[in-house]
Amino acid sequence: MDLQKVERVYSNYAGVYDQIFGKIFHESRESAVRRLDIRHDERILEVGVGTGLALPLYPRHCKVVGIDLSAGMLEKARERVRVHGLDHVELSRMDAGQMEFADDSFDTVMAAYVVTAVPDYRKVVTEMIRVCRPGGRIIMLNHFSNGNKLIAAVEKVISPLCKHIGFRTDLSLSTVLEGTSLLVARKEKVNPLRFWHLVECVNKKNGSAPSLN
């Protein structure tokens, strides 16, 4: 899908997203944030912040910036920031494939259910690497194509249909990481149904050491 269609699809979801998808994805999202072991004054970027479901989970001793292409989603996220008094959070409407941040702006970049929902995942991953400091962390919470040949075949068949509702099913982690500076430090399956992967990578650009601290 092109960017305009993606924006339209997710803005249409905005009013019902929390009710339909919130409970399904919340456990995985909460697990991803709580395992970050966030340091004092850490700079965190959440790509595809959506309605801001994860924002109250971040500790107040860090700085969080959330971006999303969907104006409808961001309206809900801003309401959540106001209700919870999240003074450490900033929100901006932005294309994840062409971010307006300087290089090395963040210590950690989080992308939950994003990589398979954008028209050009390579542009988005490249931008995530650019704005993350050398040695920083890039976290992806996502469904990636299963190594099982039968399941992979099914995923490939249904992927065109899934694209119409905002995501694809036939993208593998190895394809996403191919040719990048990302080193997988941790990978595990998370709920619901162990269908999603939590992948933590170290950004080794510019020869940076593989450090998570």
| pLDDT tens-digit readout, 1-33 | 556 655 555 555 555 555 555 566 667 778 889
Q: Give the pLDDT of residue 187.
A: 92
Q: Give the pLDDT of residue 172.
A: 82
- Which CATH number does 3-207 carry? 3.40.50.150
Instruction: Please indicate whether residue 125 or residue 51 has the higher confidence score (pLDDT).
Output: 125
- Identify the sign of the CA torsion 108, 209, 144, 103: positive
Q: Give the pLDDT of residue 39.
A: 94
Q: Which of 117, 97, 98 is nearest to 25 (CA)?
A: 117
Partner residues linked to 195 by β-bridges: none
Q: Give the pLDDT of residue 157.
A: 42
Q: Is the separation of the CB atoms in 53 and 47 below 8 Å? A: no
Mean pLDDT of all residues in the chain?
Answer: 80
In tens, the pLDDT along 88-129 reads 999 999 999 999 999 999 999 999 888 887 888 999 999 999
Q: Does residue 37 have a pLDDT over 70?
A: yes
Identify the band that residue 193 occupies on the pLDDT scale cut at 50, 70 and 90: low
Segment 188-211 mean pLDDT: 74
Q: What is the DSSP string of the chain?
A: --HHHHHHHHHHHTTTHIIIIIHHHHHHHHHHHHTT-PPTT-EEEEET-TT-TTGGGS-TTSEEEEEES-HHHHHHHHHHHHHHT-TTEEEEE--TTS--SPTT-EEEEEEES-GGGSS-HHHHHHHHHHHEEEEEEEEEEE----SSHHHHHHHHHHHHHHHTTT--S---HHHHHTTSSEEEEEEEEESSTT-EEEEEEEE-GGG------
Please measure the distance between the N-terminal and C-terminal CA atoms of the chain and give it in whole angstroms: 37
Residue 95's CB is within 10 A of a number of other CB atoms, namely 17
Segment 135-163 mean pLDDT: 64
Q: Give the pLDDT of residue 169.
A: 58
Q: Is the separation of the CB atoms in 1 and 166 below 8 Å? A: yes
Q: Does residue 151 have a pLDDT over 50?
A: no
In tens, the pLDDT along 57-89 reads 999 999 999 999 888 889 999 999 999 999 999
Q: How far apart are CA 13 and CA 142, in angstroms?
A: 19
Q: Give the pLDDT of residue 20.
A: 57
Q: Give the pLDDT of residue 22.
A: 57
Partner residues linked to 173 by β-bridges: none
Residue with tokens 């292409």: 69
Q: Give the pLDDT of residue 211.
A: 44
pLDDT > 90: percent of the chain: 46
